Amino acid sequence: MADGKVVKRAKYKSSVKDPGVPGVLKLTKERFFFMPNDPTSTTKLNVEFKLIKGHRSSKEGSSKQALLNLMHDQGRSYIFEFDSFPDRDKCREFVASAIAACGEVVKAASEKPAVPHDEQLSAAEMGRRIKLLQDNSELQKLHRQLVIGGILSEAEFWAARKKLLEQGDIKKPKQRVALKNDMWSVKPLSDGQTNRVTFNLTPEVIHQIFAEKPAVRQAYLKFVPGKMSEKEFWTKYSRAEYLHSTKNIVAAAAEAAEDEELAVFLKQDDMLAFEARKKIRRVDPTLDMEADEGDDYMHLPDHGLPLDETKEILEPQYEPFKRSFSQYLNQHAAVVLRGRVIDVELGDTRSVAEAFTRTNQAELAAEVSDESAYRERIAKVSRVAEIEDLQGPHEPPVALLSIKDPRDYFDSQQANAIKALGDGGTGTRQLKFNVSKEDAFCSLKNSISEINSQGLTEPIISPEVALKVLNGLSQNISSTKYHLGKNPHESVLDRLPSATKDELLLHWTSIQELLKHFWSSYPITAKYFYTKVTRLKDAMSQIYPKLQEIKESVQSDFRHQVSLLVQPMLQALDAAFAHYDADIQKRSAKSGERPNGFA
Amino acid sequence: MTPVSSKLYTDDVSLLMVLIDTNPYLWSSMKNTAFTFSKFLSHVLAFLNSILLLNQMNQVVVIATGYNSCDYVFDSSSSSMQRAECLLEKLEEFVDKDETLSQEDSVDGVGFSLLSGSLSMALCYIQRVFRTGPLHPQPRILCLHGSPDGPGQYVAVMNAIFSAQRSMVPIDSCVIGSQHSAFLQQASYITGGVYLKPQVSDGLFQYLSTVFATDLHSRAFLQLPRPVGVDFRASCFCHKNTIDMGYICSVCLSIFCKHHKKCSTCGSNFGEARKQDPSASGQRRKTPDGS
Checking if the pLDDT of A219 tops 60, the result is: yes
Partner B contacted by A452 (CB < 8 A): yes
Q: Which residues are within 8 A (CB) of A402 and not within 5 positions of it... i.e. 6 or more apart?
A: B266, B267
Which pLDDT does position A488 carry in this prediction? Answer: 46
Strand B8-21 relative to strand B59-65, pairing: parallel
Partner B contacted by A434 (CB < 8 A): yes
What is the distance, to the nearest Å, from the Cα of residue B30 to the centroid of all Cα atoms in its chain? Answer: 21
pLDDT 10s digits, A387-417: 656 666 666 666 665 656 656 666 665 565 5
Q: Is B160 found in the same domain as B37? A: yes
Percent of chain B topping pLDDT 90: 22
Q: Which residue has the higher pLDDT, A323 or A130?
A: A130
Q: Which residues are within 8 A (CB) of A433 and not within 5 positions of it... i.e. 6 or more apart?
A: B25, B28, B29, B109, B110
Is B196 within 8 Å of B207 (Cβ atoms)? yes
Which band of pLDDT confidence, cut at 50, 70 and 90, is reported for residue A334?
confident
Q: Is residue A386 part of a domain?
A: no
Q: Is A187 found in the same domain as A160? A: no
Q: Is residue A40 part of a domain?
A: yes
Percentages helix, strand, coil for chain B (3-state, rounded to 5) are 40, 20, 40
Helices (H) and strands (E) counted in chain B, each on its own, are: 8, 11
Checking if the pLDDT of B192 tops 60, the result is: yes
Checking if the pLDDT of A186 tops 60, the result is: no
Q: Is B214 found in the same domain as B257? A: no
Of A403, A435, A452, the CB nearest to B266: A403
Q: Is A351 found in the same domain as A224? A: yes
Which pLDDT does position A111 carry in this prediction? Answer: 41
Chain B hits for A476, CB-CB cut-off 8 Å, are: 225
Q: Is A95 found in the same domain as A35? A: yes
Q: Is residue B94 part of a domain?
A: yes
Which pLDDT does position B117 carry in this prediction? Answer: 93
Please give the Cα distance from B249 to A72 (Å, whole number).
57
Checking if the pLDDT of B119 tops 80, the result is: yes
- B-chain residue closest to A426, CA distance: B178
From the CA of B19, how many Å to the nearest CA of chain A? 16
Which pLDDT does position A337 carry in this prediction? Answer: 77
Which pLDDT does position A157 carry in this prediction? Answer: 78
Q: Is B136 found in the same domain as B267? A: no
Answer whether A403 sits within 8 Å of B203, measured CB to CB. Answer: no
Is A516 within 8 Å of A536 (Cβ atoms)? no
Half-sphere exposure of A581 (CA within 13 A, CB side): 7
Please give the Cα distance from A86 to A333 (Å, whole number).
64
Q: Is residue B178 part of a domain?
A: yes
Q: Is A190 found in the same domain as A271? A: yes
Of B25, B96, B252, the CB nearest to A440: B25
Partner B contacted by A450 (CB < 8 A): yes
Which pLDDT does position A224 carry in this prediction? Answer: 73
Of A435, A448, A462, the CB nearest to B28: A435
Eight-class DSSP state of A19: -
Q: Is B268 found in the same domain as B140? A: no
Answer whether B282 sits within 8 Å of A436, measured CB to CB. Answer: no
Of B45, B200, B264, the CB nearest to A472: B200
Checking if the pLDDT of A489 tops 50, the result is: no
Mean pLDDT for chain A?
A: 70
Please give the Cα distance from B162 to B116 (Å, whole number).
12
Answer whether A410 sits within 8 Å of B265, measured CB to CB. Answer: no
Chain A hits for B146, CB-CB cut-off 8 Å, are: none
Answer whether A483 sits within 8 Å of B237, measured CB to CB. Answer: no
Chain B hits for A449, CB-CB cut-off 8 Å, are: 92
- A-chain residue closest to B253, CA distance: A403
Which pLDDT does position A83 carry in this prediction? Answer: 77
Paired strand residues for A436: B106
Q: Is B124 found in the same domain as B80? A: yes
CATH code for the domain of A84: 2.30.29.30
Question: Which of A34-43, A353-362, B26-35, B78-87 shows the highest mean pLDDT?
Answer: B26-35
Checking if the pLDDT of B291 tops 50, the result is: no
Q: Which residue has the higher pLDDT, B114 or A286?
A: B114
Paired strand residues for A6: A27
How many residues in chain B? 291
Answer whether A473 sits within 8 Å of B211, measured CB to CB. Answer: yes
- A-chain residue closest to B222, CA distance: A477
Sign of the alpha-carbon torsion through B45, B48, B52, B57: negative
Please tell me the total count of domains within chain A.
4
Please give the Cα distance from A346 to B114 (Å, whole number).
86
From the CA of A379, how many Å to the nearest CA of chain B? 15
Q: Is residue A244 part of a domain?
A: yes
Q: Is B91 found in the same domain as B29? A: yes
Checking if the pLDDT of A227 tops 80, the result is: no
pLDDT 10s digits, B130-141: 888 777 788 999
Type of residue numbered A465: V
Is A267 within 8 Å of A296 (Cβ atoms)? no
CATH code for the domain of B187: 3.40.50.410
Q: Which residues are within 8 A (CB) of B50 and not within 5 positions of it... i.e. 6 or more apart?
A: B209, B213
Which pLDDT does position A595 carry in this prediction? Answer: 46
Partner B contacted by A396 (CB < 8 A): no
Which pLDDT does position B277 carry in this prediction? Answer: 44
Closest CA to B62 of B52, B49, B48: B48
Answer whether A423 sits within 8 Å of B179, measured CB to CB. Answer: yes
Of A411, A451, A470, the CB nearest to B42: A451
Instruction: Please state the rounded mean pLDDT for residues A494-517.
Output: 80
Q: Is A267 found in the same domain as A195? A: yes
ipTM: 0.74
- A-chain residue closest to B84, CA distance: A452
Q: Is residue A138 part of a domain?
A: yes
Please give the Cα distance from B206 to B208 (Å, whole number).
5
Q: Is A366 found in the same domain as A242? A: yes
Checking if the pLDDT of A161 tops 50, the result is: yes
Please give the Cα distance from B204 to B220 (Å, whole number).
23
Answer whether B37 sits within 8 Å of A448, measured CB to CB. Answer: yes
Question: Which of A273-277, A333-337, A449-453 shows the highest mean pLDDT?
Answer: A449-453
One DSSP character per residue, A203-224 reads HHHHHHHHHH-HHHHHHHHHHT
Chain B hits for A435, CB-CB cut-off 8 Å, are: 25, 28-29, 106-107
From the CA of A432, how many Å to the nearest CA of chain B? 5
CA distances B207 to A174, A573, B43, B111, B173, Å, are: 73, 46, 10, 26, 11
Which of B30, B73, B235, B254 would best serve as a mutation to test chain A binding (most A beta carbons within 10 A)?
B235
Partner B contacted by A598 (CB < 8 A): no
Neighbours of A34 (CB within 10 A): 20
Q: Which residue has the higher pLDDT, A178 or B220?
A: B220
Partner B contacted by A428 (CB < 8 A): no
CB pairs under 8 A between A and B: 205
Q: Is A209 found in the same domain as A277? A: yes
Which band of pLDDT confidence, cut at 50, 70 and 90, is reported for residue A598?
very low
Please give the Cα distance from A186 to B255 (Å, whole number).
73
Q: Which residues are within 8 A (CB) of A323 and not within 5 positions of it... i.e. 6 or more apart?
A: A244, A268
pTM, entire model: 0.43
Which band of pLDDT confidence, cut at 50, 70 and 90, is reported for residue B208?
very high
Q: Is residue B2 part of a domain?
A: no
Q: Is residue B148 part of a domain?
A: yes
Which pLDDT does position A364 carry in this prediction? Answer: 65
3-state secondary structure of A477: helix
Of A406, A420, A434, the CB nearest to B106: A434
Strand B8-21 relative to strand B135-145, pairing: parallel
**Bond before A523 cis per omega within 30 degrees:** yes
Which pLDDT does position A236 carry in this prediction? Answer: 78
Q: Is B239 found in the same domain as B149? A: no
Partner B contacted by A421 (CB < 8 A): yes
Q: Is A573 found in the same domain as A511? A: yes
Q: Is residue B279 part of a domain?
A: no
Answer whether A460 sits within 8 Å of B205, measured CB to CB. Answer: yes
Strand A45-48 relative to strand B234-235, pairing: unpaired
- A-chain residue closest to B148, CA distance: A414
Eight-class DSSP state of A298: G
Instruction: Please state the rounded mean pLDDT for residues B106-121.
Output: 85
Which pLDDT does position A238 carry in this prediction? Answer: 78
Q: Is A276 found in the same domain as A142? A: no
CA distances A221 to A215, A226, A264, A323, Å, are: 10, 9, 13, 23
- φ, ψ (nearest 5 deg) of residue B247: -105, 145
- For A:398-417, CB contacts with B below 8 A are 398-399, 401-404, 406-407, 409-417
- B-chain residue closest to A474, CA distance: B225
Checking if the pLDDT of B169 tops 90, the result is: yes
Q: Which residue has the higher pLDDT, A269 or B163?
A: B163
Please tell me the total count of domains within chain B.
2
Q: Which residues are within 8 A (CB) of B100 and not within 5 positions of it... i.e. 6 or more apart?
A: none
Neighbours of A396 (CB within 10 A): 5
What is the distance, to the nearest Å, from the Cα of residue B100 to the centroid of all Cα atoms in its chain? Answer: 25
Q: Is A345 found in the same domain as A221? A: yes
Answer whether B242 sits within 8 Å of A437, measured CB to CB. Answer: no
Q: Domain range spanning residue B242?
A: 233-273
Is A271 within 8 Å of A215 (Cβ atoms)? yes
- Can you list the positions of beta strands (E) in A14-139? 21-28, 31-36, 45-48, 52-57, 66-72, 77-82
Closest CA to A93 of A22, A27, A12, A24: A27
Question: Which of A36-50, A187-201, A319-333, A527-541 shows the highest mean pLDDT?
Answer: A527-541
3-state secondary structure of B19: strand
Q: Which residues are within 8 A (CB) of B208 and not within 5 positions of it... i.e. 6 or more apart?
A: B43, B44, B47, B174
Answer whether B210 sits within 8 Å of A481, measured CB to CB. Answer: no
Q: Is B75 found in the same domain as B200? A: yes
Q: Is B168 found in the same domain as B269? A: no
Q: Is A243 found in the same domain as A98? A: no
- B-chain residue closest to A477, CA distance: B225
Percentages helix, strand, coil for chain A (3-state, rounded to 5) are 60, 10, 30
Which pLDDT does position A486 carry in this prediction? Answer: 46
One DSSP character per residue, A346-371 reads SS-HHHHHHHHHHHHHHHHHHHHHTH
Percent of chain A topping pLDDT 70: 57
Answer whether A441 sits within 8 Å of B102, measured CB to CB. Answer: yes
Strand A5-13 relative to strand A77-82, pairing: antiparallel
pLDDT 10s digits, A365-379: 666 656 677 777 777
Please give the Cα distance from B173 to B181 (Å, whole number).
9
Q: Domain range spanning residue A528?
A: 490-589
Q: Is A227 found in the same domain as A362? A: yes
Which band of pLDDT confidence, cut at 50, 70 and 90, is reported for residue B77?
confident
Which pLDDT does position A599 carry in this prediction? Answer: 39
DSSP H stretches of helix in A385-424: 406-421
Paired strand residues for A7: A26
- For A:467-526, CB contacts with B below 8 A are 468-470, 472-473, 476-477, 480-481, 483-486
Please give the Cα distance from B195 to B207 (Å, whole number).
12
Answer whether A397 sits within 8 Å of B266, measured CB to CB. Answer: no
Helices B154-166 & B115-132, crossing angle to 10 degrees?
20
3-state secondary structure of A305: coil
Which pLDDT does position A331 carry in this prediction? Answer: 76
Please give the Cα distance from A214 to A341 (Å, whole number).
14
Q: Is B126 found in the same domain as B201? A: yes
Strand B106-108 relative to strand A434-436, pairing: antiparallel
Q: Is B142 found in the same domain as B248? A: no
Of A397, A437, A465, the CB nearest to B203: A465
Question: Which of A96-110, A506-520, A524-538, B58-72 shows the highest mean pLDDT?
Answer: B58-72
Which pLDDT does position B118 carry in this prediction? Answer: 94
Answer whether A447 sits within 8 Å of B27, measured CB to CB. Answer: yes
Which pLDDT does position A414 carry in this prediction? Answer: 59
Checking if the pLDDT of A280 tops 80, the result is: no
Q: Which residue has the higher pLDDT, A440 or A115?
A: A440
Burial class (CB in 10 A: 0-12, 13-18, 19+), A198: exposed
- φ, ψ (nearest 5 deg) of residue A8: -140, 155
Q: Is residue A335 part of a domain?
A: yes
Checking if the pLDDT of A271 tops 80, the result is: no
From the CA of A30, how many Å to the nearest CA of chain B? 51
Partner B contacted by A461 (CB < 8 A): yes
Please give the Cα distance from B148 to B178 (Å, whole number).
9
Which band of pLDDT confidence, cut at 50, 70 and 90, is reported for residue A359?
confident
Is B23 within 8 Å of A447 (Cβ atoms)? no
Answer whether A412 sits within 8 Å of B235, measured CB to CB. Answer: yes
Q: Is B261 found in the same domain as B161? A: no
- φ, ψ (nearest 5 deg) of residue A122: -75, 160
Q: Is residue B1 part of a domain?
A: no
Which pLDDT does position A152 carry in this prediction? Answer: 75
Q: Is residue B226 part of a domain?
A: no
Checking if the pLDDT of A515 tops 80, the result is: yes
From the CA of B225, how many Å to the nearest CA of chain A? 5
Which pLDDT does position A2 carry in this prediction? Answer: 47
